[in-house]
Amino acid sequence: MLKITELHASIENTEILRGVNLELKAGEVHAIMGPNGSGKSTLASVLIGRDGYDVSGSVQYEGQDLLALSPEERAAAGVFLAFQHPVEIPGVGNMYFMRTALNSLRRARGLEELDAVDFLSLAQESMKLVEMDQTFMSRSVNEGFSGGEKKRNEILQMAILEPKLAILDETDSGLDIDALRVVASGVNALRSEGRAMLVITHHQRLLDYIVPDYVHVMAAGQIVHSGGKDLALELEANGYAGLTPRSESTAQVGATV
Q: Evaluate whether 245 touches 254 at the Cβ level (below 8 Å).
A: yes
Which region among 8-16, 94-102, 131-139, 221-229 touches another protein (by CB under 8 A)?
Answer: 94-102
Which of 32, 27, 28 has the alpha carbon at shortest distance from 47?
32
44 three-class SS: helix
152 binds another protein, rule: CB under 8 A: no
248 binds another protein, rule: CB under 8 A: no
Q: Shortest Cβ distance from residue 92 to another protein (Å)?
A: 4
Burial of 236 (0-12, 13-18, 19+ CB in 10 A): middle
Q: Nearer Cβ to another protein, position 102 or 184?
A: 102
Residue 36 to residue 254: CA distance in whole angstroms: 10
Please give the size of the binding site for another protein, defined by CB under 8 A: 31
83 binds another protein, rule: CB under 8 A: yes
According to CB under 8 A, which one of 101, 189, 251, 253 is a site residue for another protein? 101
Q: Nearer Cβ to another protein, position 20 or 79?
A: 79
Q: Shortest Cβ distance from residue 79 to another protein (Å)?
A: 8
99 binds another protein, rule: CB under 8 A: no
Residue 232 to residue 171: CA distance in whole angstroms: 17
Question: In angstroms, how far is CA 33 from the centroid of its own chain?
Answer: 13
Q: Which positions from 57 through 76 interact with another protein, judged by CB under 8 A?
A: 70-72, 74-76
Residue 189 to residue 209: CA distance in whole angstroms: 12
Q: Evaluate whether 179 touches 152 at the Cβ level (below 8 Å).
A: yes
Q: Which residues bind another protein (CB under 8 A)?
A: 48-51, 70-72, 74-76, 80-81, 83, 86-87, 89-92, 97-98, 100-102, 104-105, 108, 140-141, 157, 161
